[in-house]
Structure formats: C-alpha cells, structure tokens
C-alpha cells in the first residue's frame, strides 16, 4: 500500500492537468486579492461614478456603505446558497479585515470545478488509457488502488485549495489588518478552518471518484461533475427557504457543507455538522465505490 501511495503521489505531481490546475489556482488567488483591493477602494468607486457632483458621489458612497454594512447578528447570512466564487461578507466594505478575506478566499463553486477536472485526469482518464487494467494485472488489490487514488486525489485537492487561500490572503495582509491580535489562538483557528474545509474537499473527491468509476470518461466526468456540484445547486438554490424538507436535503449536500465549514459566521455547531456530514459522505461513497470497482470488468 505504501509503495502504491508513493507511486500515485509521484504521478500526481507529474500530471500535466494538475500542474495547470495549480497555475489556475494561483491565478484565482491573485484575482481574489485584486478584486478585494478594487471593491474596497473608495477612490476607485468614486472615479467610476462619472457625471456626478462631489455631493452626489458622497451620497452614493454612503448608500453603498449602508447597503453592505452588517448591522446586527440577524443580518449575518452564514451561507449564501447558489453563490459561485468569492463569498465576501465584510462588516465594512471599505475597510475589510484579513480574517474576513481569509474566509472569502475558499469561494464555493470554484473547488468543485477544479476537483471535477482533477478527478477526470486522475481517475477517468486511466480507464481509457488502460493504466488501471495494467495496475490490476500486476496483482494490486483493487481496494488498495481505489483508496490510494482517493488519498492522493484528496491531497491534490487540498493543495489547490491551499494555493487559492494563500495567494488571496498573503498579499491582502500587506494592505489590510487581520482584525484582531494575531496570536497562537488565531493560528489554531486558521488550522481548524482549513482542516474542516479539507474534510469537505475529501467528501467531494469521494463522490467525484464514484462518478468517474461509473462513467469511465474524462469529458463526461468533468461535465456531469460540474453540473451536479455547481450548476444544479445554483439552480435549486432559488427554492431554498421555501420548503423545510427541501432545505434539509440541500443542507446535506457537500457543496453546502463546504461553504458552511468555511463561513465566517458559522458557529462551532455549524462546523461540526459540516464535518460530520462530510465524513459520512466519505464513508458511504468509498464503500459504494470500492464495491463497484471490485465488480467492474475493466478492459
């Protein structure tokens, strides 16, 4: 098993798709930082308000501040269903805190797209190339191969997530304060949030691997993966809050719980719930995936 893991890790870092995704993740991180700088710049917004007097610009700026300001706990939305990309919830738009930027960097929807492409390259592509057939021919246990793939794909997903978060936050901290004294407690806080997000990433990987094992196609895995984990939640989010049963089902999805685990206003109970659902998803998906993989006639 250890040799199999080492081999899969080596293949991961040599995989051209993974390298490209790392570059994309870096670009997304820099883009997040740039957009945060732009939208939080009062001077930039003033300059964009053309054909207005200074008094009118002042009034417009005040209206923007009032519209974006979080005034009470009742107005704090934990998760914004259906949102794709950076989920910024700044108490003061023109003075964001590093901690707020950290939470917004995880961006729901982005990881699902990157993971769909990654799993297609690591799993689905190996069906068509005959790599899986050759591995089994060498006497490797199917369950060991499947678990090794899951662990390595999860590591790849965490690396992509880490790149986005790091290159969003590090440049931002040069311009914006963290928001409170940055001590050991804040370091532990960051580690715990990242750990919770990592478990959610593993849950997404387990489901996408199951999908790839069924489809055995690179393009289909990407297309259906993005449709299920990004487009479908975006569409059905319009029904959120209207039906209690629907809300419970929606709140059990991995996409929702990834957003919940990284939300700045999430309570400890919210995070525990997100991690618990993600762990249950991992266990169920792996059991089904391994059972299916062991019964497949791989050619």
The rounded distance, in Å, linking the Cα atoms of 76 and 74 is 6
pLDDT digit string, tens, across residues 208-262: 999 999 988 888 999 999 888 888 877 777 777 787 887 888 888 898 899 899 9
CA-to-CA distance for 253 and 261, rounded, in angstroms?
12
Please choose, from the candidates 214, 239, 249, 24, the residue with its C-alpha nearest in 3D space to the C-alpha of residue 123.
Answer: 214
Q: How confident is the model at residue 161 (pLDDT cuts 50, 70, 90)?
A: very high
Ramachandran region, residue 290 (left: φ > 0; alpha: ψ -120 to 50; beta: rest): alpha
Per-residue pLDDT tens over the stretch 29-85? 999 898 888 877 777 777 778 778 878 878 887 777 776 665 444 456 778 776 665
CA distance 172 to 30: 10
What confidence tens digit (pLDDT) does each residue in 61-77 have? 777 777 666 544 445 67
Lookup: tokens for 40:
């939080």
Q: How many helices and strands, by DSSP H and E, does the chain display? A: 15, 0
Could you write out the DSSP letters of every residue in 159-226?
HHHHHHHHHHHHHHTTTS--SS---HHHHHHHHHHHHHHHHHHHHHHHHHHHHHHHH--HHHHHHHHH
* CA-closest candidate to residue 123, choices 215, 191, 189, 31: 215
For the stretch 79-124, pLDDT in tens is 877 666 566 667 777 778 888 899 889 877 889 999 999 999 999 8
Residue 28's contacts (CB-CB under 8 Å, 6 or more residues apart) are 107, 110, 164, 168
Gap between the Cα atoms of 12 and 146, Å rounded: 15
């Amino acid at each position: 098993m250890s040799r199999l893991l080492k081999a899969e890790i080596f293949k991961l870092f040599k995989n051209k798709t993974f390298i490209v995704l790392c570059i994309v993740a870096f670009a997304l991180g820099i883009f997040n930082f740039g957009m945060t700088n732009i939208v939080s710049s009062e001077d930039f917004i003033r300059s964009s308000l053309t054909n207005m007097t200074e008094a009118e610009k002042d009034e417009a700026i005040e209206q923007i501040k009032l519209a974006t300001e979080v005034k009470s706990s009742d107005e704090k939305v934990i998760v914004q269903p259906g949102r794709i990309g950076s989920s910024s919830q700044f108490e003061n738009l023109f003075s964001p805190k590093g901690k707020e930027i950290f939470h917004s960097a995880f961006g729901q929807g982005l990881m699902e797209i990157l993971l769909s492409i990654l799993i297609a390259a690591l799993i689905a592509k190996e069906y068509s190339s005959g790599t899986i057939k050759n591995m089994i021919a060498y006497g490797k246990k199917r369950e060991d191969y499947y678990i090794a793939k899951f662990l390595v794909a999860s590591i790849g997903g965490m690396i992509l997530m880490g790149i986005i978060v790091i290159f969003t936050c590090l440049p931002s901290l040069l311009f914006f304060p963290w928001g409170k004294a940055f001590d050991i407690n804040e370091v532990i806080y960051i580690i715990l949030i990242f750990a919770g997000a990592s478990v959610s990433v593993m849950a997404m990987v387990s489901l996408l691997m199951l999908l790839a094992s069924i489809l055995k196609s690179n393009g289909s895995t990407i297309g259906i993966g993005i449709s299920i984990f990004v487009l479908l939640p975006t569409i059905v989010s319009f029904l959120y809050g209207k039906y209690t049963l629907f809300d419970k089902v929606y709140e059990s999805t991995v996409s929702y719980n990834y957003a919940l685990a990284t939300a700045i206003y999430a309570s400890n109970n919210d995070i525990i719930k997100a991690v618990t659902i993600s762990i249950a998803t991992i266990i169920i998906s792996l059991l089904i995936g391994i059972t299916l993989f062991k019964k497949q006639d791989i050619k």
